[in-house]
Amino acid sequence: MIGFLGGNEAIIVVVVILLLFGSSQVPKLAKNLGKAQKEFKDGLDEARAGSDDEKSSAES
């Protein structure tokens, strides 16, 4: 089971993605999605670090 999707639902999603984007575009799409996810995580980490720094300087 993939997250909230069952086996049948995951297969349907994959087929729809292949039909919409074509088999040659799927790897590019996955690569860009991975990059976007990494940038989002990095941004969250920076925001958390910034809020931790503000808390520690406010306590001093």
Q: Are 40 and 32 in contact (CB under 8 A)?
A: no
pLDDT of residue 2: 53
Mean pLDDT of 3-32: 87
pLDDT of 7 above 90: no
List, for residues 22-60, the tens digit of each pLDDT value.
888 889 988 999 999 999 999 999 999 887 766 666 665
Per-residue DSSP letters for 1-60?
A: -BTTB-HHHHHHHHHHHHHHH-TTTHHHHHHHHHHHHHHHHHHHHHHHHHHHHHHHHHH-
